[in-house]
């Protein structure tokens, strides 16, 4: 019960932090896929699905990719009223994250095990950032751009960790309880809030040392919760 309460509390705090990070004041310059535009005139003028987008206060500048030596024309659009523009940015993602909670399934008569030992990994994958831009009226006389961003990632990871090794978990081959050194790898799905990432990981552990071939969880799948720091 205490372990479930700790997991729930940490997840709540992390998700609350993600909600704060999801609101931006400035759209990063870059190439975006145009997902939706509420203004009919602008929708007709955006003839390419992917364009270079820049934010200039309350105005968006759309520039198509250069296909010739000539400088491509830029389309300017000022956010008005309740009109909305939705964009998608795809990028490469490189993170370092920890796995504070790792659940190992029942094995050889042992119930579900919760591993809270040190686990760290390097993650490489793809990130999808979704942006929704519109004007928010602060007073009857003043409005400012409002940007909401949500990011998701998926990819592979590999890293180092540790696990408690006991005689019972090794068929009585280990002579005492000790903390074994492990390598782990697998796949992860991440909610990306730019500064803080939270997600789920599924992987396997590989124990190093003489008891590896006898360990009940050697190369067996597990599911874990991860927290990470964005490196790019």
Confidence at residue 2, expressed as pLDDT on a 0 to 100 scale: 33
How far is 148 from 133, CA to CA, in rounded Å? 7
What CA–CA distances, in Å, run from 14 to 119, 222, 227?
Answer: 18, 22, 8
Confidence at residue 21, expressed as pLDDT on a 0 to 100 scale: 45
Confidence at residue 227, expressed as pLDDT on a 0 to 100 scale: 87
Per-residue model confidence as pLDDT tens for the chain (232 residues)? 434 433 443 444 344 444 444 677 789 999 999 999 998 888 888 888 899 999 988 889 999 887 655 667 899 998 887 789 999 999 998 888 999 989 999 988 889 989 899 899 999 999 999 999 987 766 556 667 788 888 999 999 999 999 999 999 999 999 999 999 999 999 999 997 666 788 999 999 999 999 999 999 999 999 999 887 666 6
pTM given for the model: 0.77
**Do 146 and 134 meet the contact criterion of CB atoms below 8 Å apart?**
yes
Instruction: Give long-range contacts, CB 8 A cutoff, 24+ apart: 111-114.
Output: 113/217, 114/3
**Do 76 and 96 meet the contact criterion of CB atoms below 8 Å apart?**
no
Rg (CA), the chain: 24
| In the block, residue with structure tokens 């590989």 | 206
């Amino acid at each position: 019960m205490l372990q479930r309460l700790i997991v729930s509390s940490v997840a709540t705090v992390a998700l609350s932090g993600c909600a704060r990070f999801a609101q931006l004041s400035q759209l990063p310059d870059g190439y975006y896929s145009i997902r939706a535009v509420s203004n009919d005139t602008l929708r007709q003028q955006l003839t390419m699905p992917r364009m270079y987008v820049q934010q200039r206060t309350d105005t968006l500048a759309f520039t198509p990719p250069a296909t010739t030596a000539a400088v491509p024309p830029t389309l300017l659009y000022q956010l008005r009223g309740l009109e909305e523009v939705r964009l998608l940015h795809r990028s490469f993602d490189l993170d370092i994250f920890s796995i504070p909670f790792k659940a190992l399934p029942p094995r050889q008569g042992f119930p579900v095990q919760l591993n809270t030992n040190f686990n760290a990994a390097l993650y490489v994958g793809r990130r999808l950032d979704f942006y929704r831009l519109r004007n928010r009226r602060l007073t009857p006389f003043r409005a400012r751009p409002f940007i909401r961003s949500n990011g998701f990632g998926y990819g592979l990871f590999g890293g180092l960790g540790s696990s408690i090794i006991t005689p019972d978990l090794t068929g009585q081959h280990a002579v005492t309880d000790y903390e074994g050194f492990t390598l782990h790898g697998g796949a992860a799905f991440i909610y990306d809030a730019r500064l803080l990432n939270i997600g789920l990981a599924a992987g396997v552990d590989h124990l190093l040392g003489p008891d590896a071939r006898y360990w009940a969880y050697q190369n067996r799948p597990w599911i874990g919760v991860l927290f990470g720091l964005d490196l790019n």
